[in-house]
Amino acid sequence: MLCRLTIRDFVLVDRLELEFHAGFGSLTGETGAGKSILVDALAFALGERADVGMIRSGSEKAEVTAEFALDGSPAAMEWLRAHDLESDGGLLLRRLVDTGGRSRAYLNGSPVTVQQLREVAESLVDIHGQHAHQSLMRGEAQRALLDSHARLNALLVDVGAAWRQWRDARATLNAARDGVEALAAEREQLTWQTSELAALGVSTQEWLTLNEEHKRLAHTASLVEGAHYSLQLLADGDAACETQVGAAANRLEALSDYDPALREITALLQSARAELGEAISTLRRYTNRAETDPQRLTAVERRIEAILDCARKFRCAPEELPTLLARWQERLTALGEAADLAGLAERVELARRHYESLAASLSDRRAEAAEALGRDVSQVMQQLALSGGRFEVGLLPIEGGSAFGLEQVEFRLSGLAGNGARPLAKVASGGELSRISLAIQVVTSQAASVPTLIFDEVDVGIGGGVAEIVGHLLRDLGSDRQVLCVTHLPQVAARANWQWLVSKSTVSGQVRSLVTELDEKARIEEIARMLGGVEITSITRQHAREMLS
C-alpha cells in the first residue's frame, strides 16, 4: 500500500510530507483548496505526463516521492526481480521535472524510464478521475475498460500484431498484382548489379589490407634507405651508438669499485645496450627482407582501381560495397517472393487464419467478461437509487475485424423510465451517468488486485441517501485494501476510517496548500462545515457527530 508521499514545489505545494494509513480515507476541503493537486502529484510520481506548469512559481523544479510497502503486491515484487532492482519489501518512486521540461525518474534510487514507472505503478495504484463518467460516452473507452477488467490486454496485443501481419501481407500481395512490370524491371536491374559486385568479390577487410600494402610497396625504396641509414648510426658507422654506449658502460663499471653510486647507472646503460642490440638485429632482418616488388605493386594498384571504379559507378564509398551487395541480395530475395503471387496469397491466408483464431479467443473471453460485468454492475446500481435499471455490455460485430478484435464494445442501459436496452450515452442523464460510472468503478476495483485505490470526486452529482450508500461502498472496499477518496459529500467523508483536511493559506504573498490530519473533534467540525450553512450551530455539530458514529 501507499505509505508516504513527499511533495516539493508542486503547483501550490511548497513542501509536504503525508503519512498514509490503511483502510478508507477521505480528503476534504473548500473548493480550490488543492485536494486534486495531491492526486495529480501522485499520478506524476507514477509516470503520468510531466509539465512545467506543475512547478511552483519561483522554483526551479518540482519533485514528488511516493513510498510503498509491497507486502500485498506480488506483481510489483516480481517486476522488480525481473528488472534486477533491489527491494527489501519496500518501493520508492521519485520523479522530477525542471523548468526546461526535462523529466527524470528513479526507482529505489536507480534511474529508470518513465515507461518503467508506469509499468510498476499498474500493480500498485488505480486512480479513478472525477471526469471518468465522461469517458463512458466513448466506444473505445468502453472497450478498454472491459478488456482491462477481464485482463485481456496481453491477448489484445497479440491480436493487434496478428492483424498488422495480415494487413501487411495483403498490401504486399496487392502491390505485387498491381506492379508486376515495375517489379520485373527492378529485379532485372538488381540482378546485373549484384552479379557485378559478386564477381568483384571485395570485402571490407580486403579493402583495408590493400591500402596498407599499397602504401608499403609504393615507399619500399624510402623504407630500405631509411633502414640502412639507421644501421649506420646505430652499429656500422665509425661513431656508432652501440660502440659508444658499450664504451661508456665499461668505463663506469670499472669506476664503480670506487663509488658504488655508479653501479645503478652502469646497470641502466647495460640494459640500454642490450635493447639497442635487439633493435639493431631486428633492423638488419628488415633490410634483408625489404625489397622492391614492381609486379606486386602493379597488381595491387589494378585491384584498387577496379574497386574504386565500381564504387564510383554505384555512388558509394569503397568500404560500403559489401553492405550494398548484401542489401541488394536481400531485396532480390524479396522481389522473388513478390513475383510468386501464389505464395503471397498463401501467406495472406495463413495470416488471416492466425488473426481469426486469436480474435475468436478474444471474443469468447470478452463475452464471458461482458456478461459478468453487466450482472455485477446492475447489482450495485440497485443500491444507488437506480432500482430496476439493468446494465448490459453489448458486443457489436465488425465486418472484417480490426486491430482490437472482431467486435466493438457498447455499454447499454435498460429498465429506467421503461426504456429497452439502448446505448448508455443516449438514455442516461448526467446524475445517472455519475452513479453508473461509480458502480462500474466499484465493481472493477473489487475484481482488481491493485492494493491502493484513489477516487477523485467520482461522487459528483450524487447526494442524499445515495451519497450515504456511496460512503458505505467505499468503506467496504477499504476493508481489504487502501482507499482514498477526494469528496465534497459529508455522507462519504463520515464513513472514512481517517480524514484529511486540505486548506489554503497565503505566506509572503504566495498561496500554498496545507494538509491537516483530523482527530475526532476536528472531524466533527469539518463534517459540520460540509453539511452547509453560514454558521455552524450545535444542531449541525450534533448531526455531524451522529453521522460519524
Is the pLDDT reported for residue 24 higher than 80?
yes
Amino acid at 219: H
Rounded CA-CA distance 13/32 in Å is 13
More reliable by pLDDT, 501 or 462: 501
Q: What is the pLDDT of residues 430-469, one digit of tens each?
A: 667 777 877 887 888 776 667 888 888 767 767 778 888 8
Q: Where are the domains of the chain?
A: 1-124+450-518, 187-336
d(CA 146, CA 127): 16
Instruction: Tell me the average pLDDT of the chain.
Output: 85
Q: Is the pLDDT of residue 159 over 70?
A: yes
For the chain, how big is the Rg over CA atoms in Å? 40
The per-residue pLDDT for 410 is 92
Instruction: Tally Cβ neighbours within 10 Å of residue 60.
Output: 10
Cell of 316: 558509394
Q: What is the pLDDT of residue 44?
A: 92
Which tens digits make up the pLDDT trace of 353-404? 999 999 999 999 999 999 999 999 998 888 887 777 889 999 999 998 999 9
DSSP 55-68: BPTT-SEEEEEEEE
DSSP annotation of 415: S
Measure the CA–CA gap between 459 and 489, rounded to whole angstroms.
Answer: 8
Residue type for 533, please?
G
Q: pTM higher than 0.75 for the full model?
A: no
pLDDT digits (tens, 9 = 90+) for 194-228: 888 888 888 888 888 888 888 878 887 788 788 88
For 418-427, which contacts have Cβ atoms below 8 Å and span 24 or more sequence positions? 421/390, 421/392, 421/394, 424/136, 424/137, 425/136, 425/137
**Whole-number percent of the chain with pLDDT over 70:** 92
Q: What is the pLDDT of residues 95-144, one digit of tens each?
A: 999 998 899 999 988 899 999 888 888 888 888 776 655 667 778 888 98
CA 86 to CA 77: how far, in whole Å? 10
Q: Taking each helix axis as running N to C, give the angle between helix 321-339 and helix 180-200, from 0 to 180 degrees, rounded to the nearest 10.
A: 150
pLDDT at 338 over 70: no
- From residue 458, how far is each of 24, 26, 45, 47, 265 by CA, in Å? 15, 12, 21, 22, 90
Among 367, 42, 344, 381, smallest CA distance to 168 is for 344
pLDDT digits (tens, 9 = 90+) for 279-311: 888 888 877 776 667 788 888 889 989 999 988
∠ CA 377-383-387, nearest 5°, is 85
| pLDDT (0 to 100) of residue 34 | 77
Query: Does residue 274 come out as left (phi exceeding 0), alpha (psi in the -120 to 50 range) or beta?
Result: alpha
Q: What is the pLDDT of residue 259?
A: 84
Under a CB-based contact definition with an 8 Å cutoff, are residues 106 and 112 in contact?
A: yes
pLDDT at 250 over 70: yes
Mean pLDDT value across residues 152-174 = 91
Whether the CB-CB separation of 471 and 422 falls below 8 Å is answered with: no
pLDDT at 158 over 90: yes
516: three-class secondary structure by DSSP: strand
What is the rounded average pLDDT of the residues 175-193?
A: 74
Fold of 1-124+450-518: Rossmann fold (3.40.50)
CB neighbours of residue 461 within 10 Å:
16
For residue 514, the surrounding DSSP H or E stretch is strand 510-517
pLDDT band at 14 (very low <50, low <70, confident <90, very high): confident
Helix axes 220-231, 261-289, angle to 10 degrees: 150
Q: Which residues contact 534 (CB under 8 A, 6 or more apart)?
A: none
pLDDT at 352 over 90: yes
Instruction: Give the CA distances from residue 521 to residues 455, 527, 528, 548, in Å, rounded to whole numbers and listed in that order.
Output: 25, 10, 11, 11
Tell me, what's the pLDDT at 135?
Answer: 66
CA angle (426, 428, 432) in 5-degree steps: 165
Query: What's residue 496's pLDDT?
Result: 93
Angle at 286 between CA 284 and CA 292, to 5 degrees: 125
How far CA 510 is from CA of 13, 20, 35, 63, in Å, comes to 10, 27, 18, 19
Cβ neighbours of residue 152 under 8 Å, at least 6 residues apart?
Answer: 146, 362, 365, 366, 369
Amino acid 98: pLDDT: 92
pLDDT of amino acid 181: 62
d(CA 474, CA 480): 11
Contact 118, 448 (CB under 8 A): no
Quote the percentage of the chain above a pLDDT of 90. 24
> Given this model, what pLDDT does residue 328 score?
87
Contact residues for 71 (Cβ-Cβ < 8 A; gap 6+) = 1, 89
pLDDT at 25 over 90: yes
Taking the C-alpha atoms of residue 389 and residue 240, their distance in angstroms, rounded to an integer, is 112
CB 102 within 8 A of CB 50: no
Question: What is the SS3 assignment for 128?
Answer: strand
Percent helix, strand, coil in the chain, to 5, is 60, 20, 25
Helix (H, G, I), strand (E, B) or coil at 136: coil
Task: Name the least confident of 38-47, 278-287, 416-425.
Answer: 416-425
Q: What is the 3-state secondary structure (H, E, C) of 274-320?
A: HHHHHHHHHHHHHHHHCCCCHHHHHHHHHHHHHHHHHHHHCCCCHHH
